[in-house]
Amino acid sequence: MQSDLEPGAQTAGFIPLSVPNLSETEWRYVRDCLDTNWISSAGSYVTRFEEDVAKAVGARFGVAMSSGTAALHIALKLADVRPGDEVVLPSLTFIAPANAVRYLDAFPVFVDVEPDCWQLSPDQLAGFLSTDCESADGGVRNRHTGRRVAAILPVDLLGHPCDLDAIHEIARRFGLSVVEDAAESLGAQYRGAPVGGISNLSALSFNGNKIVTTGGGGMLTTADRELADRARYLSKQAKDDALESMHREVGFNYRLTNVQAAIGCAQLERLSEFVERKREIARRYTEELGLVPGITPAREASWARSTYWLYTVLVDPDEFGCTSRELAETLYTEGIQARPLWQPLHLSPAHSQSFACPCPVANRLNRDAISLPCSTGLEEGEQEQVIRAVRRAAR
């Protein structure tokens, strides 16, 4: 989110929401790229980064991409999402997965998140597929739009996994593929298994605000060699010959550079340290702010290990004494960056042509939720400042 900060936001005294945590190792690896002239889209760091990420998430293959959105685009294409199809995803999410669906001339369908951990609701999902859809050609069709439903796109939000077993079971029952958007949740676990290695196709992001960053970048992970090969092929303009420029189909320029991968390799060495630090920050916030009337901290499901990528609380305006937006304003005047969650996509003009189920929880989260500073480099004194400022703002 560094790039979203006002100029000077990183100057002394300002506490940003979430910024990268870089060390000497990043410098060393980047320098190595520059010294050896390997700065572009081939190079040993790209391969190493793919292997290291795949290993970290327990996937057999990783294919580096220029962004998480690019990884989602390719993953949806590999899941055989075709023009005019529909893909079901939560209304509450960063817009990238819905946009990736549109890149294929398919349409998102929005369902609500559940109120406990704010993830895609398996009940709402099953409800949509059984009530709003009818069977057609071995799959299902949305009765309202007449479109074929091709896939489910669960998004592991804010560092917390979705209930993946339930979602995969529903996918099997209705003959749908699953593309998991794990962009916000590298390092999180579902029933002891890391996200990114559970669904057959997953997408990760290494944008500047994510737990591990390459500045900008992403990765598709899969257990399937054929899918990995095809993803790599499509990300390199679908080039068919090592020597001649020949192409059987339209590909994409979605490659990650060696310099970015070098940063990623260094970052990934610290993934467990970063997750521990995020969880420590969350523990302290929850202990201190959980006692403030009107504040409800994000919860962790019994089967989940969250990274608390963006530490978020709900503000009940009546009990707390002001709204989430007023709290954000107050914090800002004290040099603390806080931010509401995304506009639910069923309300987004960018996706007004999409079908949506009622999404009261997404609406409430957009109205009442606010994310607090939680960079892995956040110092104890800074966190104390945030906690005090929130307490002072309370009635």
Ligand X SMILES: *Cc1c(COP(=O)(O)O)cnc(C)c1O
Q: Does residue 218 touch ligand X according to CB under 6 A? A: yes
What beta strand segments (E) does 213-341 contain? 218-222, 295-297, 304-305, 312-315, 339-340
What is the rounded CA–CA span in Å between residue 39 and residue 185? 28
x-or-dash string of contact with ligand X, 146-175, rule CB under 6 A: ---------x--------------------
Based on the shown chain and the rule CB under 6 A, indicate whether residue 184 belongs to the binding site for ligand X.
yes
Token readout for 308 is 């608390």
Out of 41, 91, 93, 199, point to the residue binding ligand X (CB under 6 A): 93
- Residue 62 as a binder of ligand X (CB under 6 A): the answer is no
DSSP H helices in 23-95: 24-36, 44-57, 68-78
Residue 63 host element (H or E): strand 61-65
Question: Does the protein bind ligand X through residue 337 (CB under 6 A)?
Answer: no
Q: How far apart are CA 90 and CA 112, in angstroms?
A: 6
Q: Exactly one of 18, 142, 202, 205 binds ligand X (CB under 6 A); which one?
A: 205
Which of 21/383 has CB closer to ligand X? Answer: 21
| Per CB under 6 A, 214 contacts ligand X | no
- Which listed range, 30-38, 62-70, 193-201, 371-379, lies at the site for ligand X (CB under 6 A)? 62-70
Give the sign of the dihedral formed by CA 311, CA 315, CA 321, CA 325.
Answer: positive
96 part of the interface to ligand X, by CB under 6 A: yes
Task: Please give the helix or strand (H or E) that residue 177 lies within, else none.
Answer: strand 177-181
Does 49 participate in binding ligand X (rule CB under 6 A)?
no
* Least gap, CB of 158 to ligand X (angstroms): 9
Q: Output 94 or 107, the one with its CB closest to ligand X.
A: 94
User: Binding residue for ligand X (CB under 6 A) from 94, 190, 254, 308?
Assistant: 94
181 binds ligand X (CB under 6 A): yes
Nearer to ligand X by C-beta: 33 or 155? 155
Interacting residues of 117 by C-beta distance below 8 A, sequence separation 6+: 160, 298, 299, 300, 301, 304
Among 18, 21, 41, 67, binds ligand X (CB under 6 A): 67
CB 256, CB 45: distance < 8 Å: no
Centroid of chain to Cα 127: 25
Q: Which stretch binds ligand X (CB under 6 A): 39-47, 92-100, 109-117, 317-325?
A: 92-100
Residue nearest to ligand X (CB): 68
Q: Residue 311 and residue 337: Cα distance in Å, rounded? A: 12
Binding site for ligand X (CB under 6 A): 67-69, 93-94, 96-97, 155, 181, 183-184, 205, 207, 218
